[in-house]
Amino acid sequence: MEEMGFRPWQKGSLHGWLTAAVRLLFLLLACSVVATVREVRGNEYPGVQLKVQNNQVVTDNGIVEITFSNPDGMVTGIKFNGIDNLLEARNKEADRGYWDIVWNRPEEASMFTRIEGTTFKVVANTDDIVELSFVSSWSNSSESYLAPLIIDKRFVVRRGSSGFYGYAIFNHPKGWPDLDIGEARIAFKLNGQKFRYMAISDERQRVMPTDEDRASGRVLDYKEAVLLTGPSNSELEGEVDDKYQYSCENQENKVHGWISSDPPVGFWMITPSDESHTAGPVKQDLTSHIGPTTLNVFYSNHYAGKDVSMSFRNGEAWKKVYGPFMVYVNSVSPEEDQSKLWADAKGQMLMETASWPYDFISSDDYPSAAGRGTVSGQLSVRDRYMENRDMAAGSAYVGLAAPGEVGSWQTNTKGYQFWTRADENGSFEIKNVRPGIYGLYAWVPGFIGDYKYHLNVMVKPGSEIQVDPLVFSPPRSGPTLWEIGIPDRTAAEFYVPLPNPRFMNNLSKNGIGERFRQYGLWDRYSELYPKNDLVYTVGVDNYHRDWFFAHVTRKTGNSTYVPTTWRIDFHLQNVNFRGTYRLQMAVASATLSRISIGVNNLSQQPPSSTGRFGNDNAIARHGIHGLYWTFGFDVPGSRLRRGTNSIYLAQSSSARTPFEGVMYDYIRFEGPPRMN
Ligand SMILES: *[C@@H]1O[C@H](CO)[C@@H](O)[C@H](O)[C@H]1NC(C)=O
Ligand SMILES: *[C@@H]1O[C@H](CO)[C@@H](O)[C@H](O)[C@H]1NC(C)=O
Ligand SMILES: *[C@@H]1O[C@H](CO)[C@@H](O)[C@H](O)[C@H]1NC(C)=O
Ligand SMILES: *[C@@H]1O[C@H](CO)[C@@H](O)[C@H](O)[C@H]1NC(C)=O
Ligand SMILES: *[C@@H]1O[C@H](CO)[C@@H](O)[C@H](O)[C@H]1NC(C)=O
């Protein structure tokens, strides 16, 4: 950062053309001086030092000094830029930088366990790189709080690098006892005296309350949400704190972290690839939140529920590398704009992403570029009710995941996933794929449903696989009579209200940010529709304004809720009484829901219903989507009439909480098939 310390000439000391010429000269001189300094420094980065002591291991590359407990492999200290420890030294050593899991034996209660190494090994030790391994093993005689897994926690320190790398190899050998895993992540608890400003994206940045502020606040509808009353920073009075407001999708989770202003230092979690994260590119999870805490959550069932589970039965063998990620630290001089720390962290993220897969990782379980393959092809969409010719699957999401059913990637937890976006013509190239056998999956914004290639794809080191032209035929049985929403797997295009002013929260640099992340929106439905439920009239109403983003329960007072029934009114000029119409329904999230469909009659026989579905809890967690579902319901023409018709969407779940409900993605009513 030495070039940032350079101070140019004083403004106004020279005039006219002379000013310009002198400035140019100064600039040239200054640049060459700075460049020389940097070059010399570049060569002078000291080799990485390693000190192994009885109960700790210390690495020092002249930029950052890191201390690990031995053999536990907890990160206990990070010394950087004059700060003795970027981590919270008031916490116990095991509670500063650690891997943890939530797990259980079958049918038993789940436990939170920090992963403690039992053996320590130096895997690489040169001037250029040190790689450490802390292995936590298990045997029949282990303490009962230990999971039957072998977990190898690796840390890598490189010469000249402002930070360090980490990854973990999880191994459940064949024949080992059964277990379920509910969460696997690494957590860093930062120095609370220093880190007060959090950044998740360009917009999502703010001064944060402290752990103590949270402890003295008032718990709201659930324990994660707290109303701040009398926080140390009075500007935060009346805000809500809830860590789920800072979640993001895997595909966006590239860099997030914290800034200290005295001295100005940044601490960043960089994720160059989400191949080892769980359940695909749009799965959401926590990032950084109050504490100050910075996470890398590799697996959890947040925004998904028990549909995304990880169970090992009958001695199933499993091995997976989580990461590597990079912890990046940076600094500027006190006079400088601290927003440079975020900009610089983004720059580092781009460099890390460009050098993926890394070529400096020692484990054979992490293949380098030469040990990986490429899969490419072109996808088009066939929907004869939209176009006579096949359409390019522009911007399609195309990915490789464990072989399974259509759409199974969104619940797949054990394997790696490799996703890309197709170009405007539907052409795609998936690079750096680990060897293995995969299903090839896709979905296309603008169309409902999921695509899966009928063959599995086998990737070997160096493979360059070109698949046949792929054609996706989305669900469709007749011409569109009307539609509500945009098929994009979220409810973001619908009406998302402003929060209750009592729970307003400045989640972004410029105020409240994305509305759907605000607390308490579920109760806004009861305020907007205190007696009668939502009625949407096709051709008159506008879904941006008139379709509430979540079909929730209604509050009737005293924490009691009732199921609600929405109605869609539409006009039919003509009816084919012997034809079969179809209601296509794509759902972006569901929690303990069941939606019954009625056509001109709420108690129609036989009933049409989604059945009970969904556990993603995305309404309470401020996700604008959870898992994706599609349903199709045939409607006999005999149920319809000329003129005004109504379709009822009736909740028939228990409605015990305000969080039960669905977020629709898109609804379409189709006429009978054309005769060809
Ligand atoms: C644990 O003990 C059981 C019975 O004593 C034995 O069958 C099993 O192989 C042992 N498993 C491991 C992983 O040592
Ligand atoms: C898409 O196809 C058109 C027509 O062949 C071509 O001009 C265009 O460059 C293609 N786009 C990309 C991103 O390759
Ligand atoms: C949010 O920010 C706005 C403008 O920056 C400010 O007027 C308002 O008081 C803040 N609200 C809270 C709850 O802090
Ligand atoms: C709310 O609870 C109070 C006390 O339990 C009761 O008197 C009142 O009738 C309840 N109100 C409603 C709307 O259920
Ligand atoms: C609705 O359907 C039920 C069951 O088929 C029937 O008994 C009832 O008459 C219908 N109501 C109307 C208004 O058509």
Render pLDDT for 587-603 as a digit per residue (tens, 0 to 9): 999 999 999 999 999 88
* For residues 544-565, average pLDDT: 94
**Residue 25 predicted with pLDDT over 50:** no
What does the alpha-carbon distance between residue 486 and residue 446 come to, in Å, rounded to a whole number?
A: 6
What does the alpha-carbon distance between residue 190 and residue 172 come to, in Å, rounded to a whole number?
A: 31
Residue 605 CA: nearest ligand 5 atom is: 5
Residue 16's pLDDT band (boundaries 50, 70, 90)? very low
Residue type, 461: P
Work out the burial of residue 222: count CB atoms within 10 Å of its CB; fewer than 13 is exposed, 13-18 middle, 19 or more buried.
Answer: middle
Question: From the CA of 493, how far away is ligand 3's center (Å)?
Answer: 25
Decide whether any atom of ligand 1 lies within 6 Å of the 138 Cβ. Answer: no
DSSP 517: G
Question: From the CA of 229, how far away is ligand 3's center (Å)?
Answer: 15
Work out the burial of residue 123: count CB atoms within 10 Å of its CB; fewer than 13 is exposed, 13-18 middle, 19 or more buried.
Answer: middle
**Residue 22 predicted with pLDDT over 90:** no
Rg of the chain over all Cα atoms, to the nearest angstrom: 28
Contact status, residue 408 vs residue 450, Cβ threshold 8 Å? no
Q: Identify the residue whose C-alpha is closest to ligand 3 atom 6.
A: 511
Residue 505 CA: nearest ligand 3 atom is: 13
Question: From the CA of 604, how far away is ligand 5's center (Å)?
Answer: 6
Question: From the CA of 425, how far away is ligand 2's center (Å)?
Answer: 6
Residue 255's pLDDT band (boundaries 50, 70, 90)? very high
**Ligand minimally distant from the alpha carbon of residue 392:** 2
* For residues 192-205, average pLDDT: 97
Question: From the CA of 255, how far away is ligand 3's center (Å)?
Answer: 26
**Ligand minimally distant from the alpha carbon of residue 601:** 5
Residue 558 CA: nearest ligand 4 atom is: 1
* For residues 552-564, average pLDDT: 92
* For residues 637-650, average pLDDT: 98
**Residue 2 predicted with pLDDT over 90:** no
Decide whether any atom of ligand 5 lies within 6 Å of the 574 Cβ. Answer: no
Q: What is the pLDDT of residue 328?
A: 98
Q: Identify the residue whose C-alpha is closest to ligand 1 atom 6.
A: 140
Question: From the CA of 499, how far away is ligand 3's center (Å)?
Answer: 13
**Share above pLDDT 70 across residues of the chain, in percent, rounded to a whole number:** 93
Q: Nearest CA to 549 among 484, 631, 500?
A: 484
Write out the two tokens for 633: 């319901």
What does the alpha-carbon distance between residue 372 and residue 431 come to, in Å, rounded to a whole number?
A: 8
Q: What is the pLDDT of residue 578?
A: 97
Decide whether any atom of ligand 3 lies within 6 Å of the 504 Cβ. Answer: yes
Burial code (b: 16+ CB inside 10 Å, e: under 16) for 153-168 equals bbbbbbbbbbbbbbbb
Q: What is the pLDDT of residue 512?
A: 93
**Ligand minimally distant from the alpha carbon of residue 560:** 4
Quote the mean pLDDT of the chain: 93
* CB contact set of 171 (below 8 Å; sequence gap of 6+): 149, 150, 151, 152, 318, 319
Question: From the CA of 144, how far away is ligand 1's center (Å)?
Answer: 14
What does the alpha-carbon distance between residue 242 and residue 527 come to, in Å, rounded to a whole number?
A: 23
Residue 148 CA: nearest ligand 1 atom is: 13
Residue 609's pLDDT band (boundaries 50, 70, 90)? very high
**Residue 285 predicted with pLDDT over 50:** yes
**Ligand minimally distant from the alpha carbon of residue 598:** 5
Chain segment 467-512, per-residue pLDDT in tens: 999 999 999 999 999 999 999 999 999 999 999 999 999 999 989 9
* For residues 643-655, average pLDDT: 92
Q: What is the pLDDT of residue 35?
A: 34
Question: From the CA of 314, how far away is ligand 1's center (Å)?
Answer: 13
- Other residues' Cβ atoms within 10 Å of the Cβ of residue 429: 14
Q: What is the pLDDT of residue 41?
A: 46
Residue 604 CA: nearest ligand 5 atom is: 2
DSSP 534: P
Residue type, 270: I
Best residue for ligand 2 mutational test, from 425, 427, 428, 429 (most atoms within 8 Å of Cβ): 425
Residues with CB under 6 A from ligand 2: 423-425
554 sits in which H/E element: strand 554-557
Residue 560 CA: nearest ligand 4 atom is: 14
Q: What is the pLDDT of residue 143?
A: 86
Decide whether any atom of ligand 1 lies within 6 Å of the 141 Cβ. Answer: no
Residue 139 CA: nearest ligand 1 atom is: 14
Q: Nearest CA to 265 among 190, 320, 358, 321?
A: 190
Grouping H, G, I as helix, E, B as strand and the rest as coil, residue 561 is strand
Question: From the CA of 471, how far away is ligand 1's center (Å)?
Answer: 50
545 sits in which H/E element: helix 543-546
| Beta-strand relationship, 226-227 and 240-241 | antiparallel
**Residue 104 predicted with pLDDT over 80:** yes
Using alpha carbons, list the distances in angstroms from residue 468 to 302, 375, 425, 614. 36, 11, 15, 35
Q: What is the pLDDT of residue 7?
A: 28
Q: Identify the residue whose C-alpha is closest to ligand 5 atom 11.
A: 601
* For residues 388-408, average pLDDT: 98
Q: Which residue has the tokens 């400096």?
A: 360
Greater model confidence, 606 or 260: 260
* CB contact set of 608 (below 8 Å; sequence gap of 6+): 596, 597, 598, 633
Residue 605's pLDDT band (boundaries 50, 70, 90)? confident
Residue 176 CA: nearest ligand 1 atom is: 13
Chain segment 286-335, per-residue pLDDT in tens: 999 999 999 999 999 999 999 999 999 999 999 999 999 999 999 999 99
Residue 292: is the preceding peptide bond cis (ω within 30°)? yes
Question: From the CA of 449, how far away is ligand 2's center (Å)?
Answer: 26
Chain segment 502-532, per-residue pLDDT in tens: 999 999 998 999 999 999 999 999 999 999 9
Q: What is the pLDDT of residue 29?
A: 40
Question: From the CA of 141, how far away is ligand 1's center (Å)?
Answer: 9
* For residues 646-675, average pLDDT: 93
**Residue 5 predicted with pLDDT over 60:** no
Residue 342's pLDDT band (boundaries 50, 70, 90)? very high
Which residues pair with residue 249 across a beta bridge? 284
Greater model confidence, 1 or 44: 44
Write out the two tokens for 308: 């995304």
Decide whether any atom of ligand 1 lies within 6 Å of the 176 Cβ. Answer: yes
Question: From the CA of 178, how far away is ligand 1's center (Å)?
Answer: 12
Best residue for ligand 3 mutational test, from 203, 233, 506, 508 (most atoms within 8 Å of Cβ): 506
Q: Identify the residue whose C-alpha is closest to ligand 3 atom 2.
A: 511
Residue type, 379: L
Q: What is the pLDDT of residue 258?
A: 98
**Residue 14 predicted with pLDDT over 70:** no
Q: What is the pLDDT of residue 676?
A: 58
Chain segment 407-422, per-residue pLDDT in tens: 999 999 999 999 999 9
| Beta-strand relationship, 248-249 and 284-285 | antiparallel
**Ligand minimally distant from the alpha carbon of residue 557:** 4
Q: What is the pLDDT of residue 675?
A: 76
Chain segment 145-168, per-residue pLDDT in tens: 899 999 999 999 999 999 999 999
Q: Identify the residue whose C-alpha is closest to ligand 5 atom 14.
A: 601
Decide whether any atom of ligand 5 lies within 6 Å of the 601 Cβ. Answer: yes
Q: Nearest CA to 463 among 366, 357, 400, 369?
A: 369
Q: Identify the residue whose C-alpha is closest to ligand 4 atom 9.
A: 558
**Residue 655 predicted with pLDDT over 90:** no
DSSP codes of every residue in 71-131: TT--EEEEEETTBS-SB-TTS-GGGTEEEEEEEE-TTS--EEEE---SEEEEEEESSSEEE
The Cβ-side half-sphere exposure at 468, using a 13 Å CA radius, reads 7
Decide whether any atom of ligand 1 lies within 6 Å of the 605 Cβ. Answer: no
E strand spans, 434-525:
436-443, 451-452, 457-459, 464-466, 470-472, 480-485
- Other residues' Cβ atoms within 10 Å of the Cβ of residue 564: 21
Q: What is the pLDDT of residue 37?
A: 33
Write out the two tokens for 505: 């929260």
What does the alpha-carbon distance between residue 76 and residue 98 come to, in Å, rounded to a whole number?
A: 9
The Cβ-side half-sphere exposure at 547, using a 13 Å CA radius, reads 26
Question: From the CA of 446, how far away is ligand 2's center (Å)?
Answer: 20
Q: Nearest CA to 398 among 459, 460, 467, 444?
A: 444
Residue type, 172: H
Chain segment 263-282, per-residue pLDDT in tens: 999 999 999 999 999 999 99
End-to-end CA distance of the chain: 70
Residue type, 94: A
Write out the two tokens for 267: 């601490």
Decide whether any atom of ligand 5 lies within 6 Å of the 604 Cβ. Answer: yes
Contact status, residue 520 vs residue 499, Cβ threshold 8 Å? yes
Contact status, residue 583 vs residue 551, Cβ threshold 8 Å? no
Q: From the centroid of its chain, how far is CA 57?
A: 33
Best residue for ligand 5 mutational test, from 604, 638, 644 (most atoms within 8 Å of Cβ): 604
What does the alpha-carbon distance between residue 79 and residue 61 come to, in Å, rounded to a whole number?
A: 11
Contact status, residue 298 vs residue 310, Cβ threshold 8 Å? no
Write out the two tokens for 426: 């539907």
What does the alpha-carbon distance between residue 311 and residue 1 come to, in Å, rounded to a whole number?
A: 47
Q: Identify the residue whose C-alpha is closest to ligand 1 atom 10.
A: 140
User: What length does the chain have?
Assistant: 676
Q: What is the pLDDT of residue 32?
A: 37
- Order of strands, edge to edge, in the sheet holding 226-227? 218-219, 226-227, 240-241
* For residues 123-127, average pLDDT: 98
Question: From the CA of 84, how far away is ligand 3's center (Å)?
Answer: 34
